[in-house]
Amino acid sequence: MKQQKYNIHKQKEDKQTKYETKTQQAQQQQQQQQQHDKLQQQQQQLQQQQQLQQQQQLQQKPGWPLWASSFCKQQQQQQQQYQQQQQ
């Protein structure tokens, strides 16, 4: 009789630990997903900054027509606004 009671108790415990490990796994996956999202955002920002730098370097080259550099400036402003919205 005691053995039976113990078995039932043991089954309950097993169910509880199974449930706990499942929720832990789910939480870990969520955290990994969030980290991944953050990484992607950082990479996008990096790419945008690199593009900005390239455009600025291009502007500094002599012999650039005025319309081209003003077009670039417009694009930069748009990109900076986009970055601010993202953060």
As a whole number of angstroms, the distance between CA 37 and CA 43 comes to 10
**81: containing domain:** 2-86
Are 55 and 72 spatial neighbours (Cβ–Cβ below 8 Å)?
yes
Tokens read off for 87: 């953060």
Q: What is the pLDDT of residue 86?
A: 58
pTM of the model: 0.35
| CB proximity list for 64: less than 8 A, separation 6 or greater | 58
In tens, the pLDDT along 22-74 reads 888 888 888 888 888 888 888 888 888 888 877 777 666 666 666 666 666 66
- What is the pLDDT, as a whole number, of residue 21? 80
Question: Alpha-carbon distance 75 to 80, whole Å?
Answer: 9
* Domain total of the chain: 1
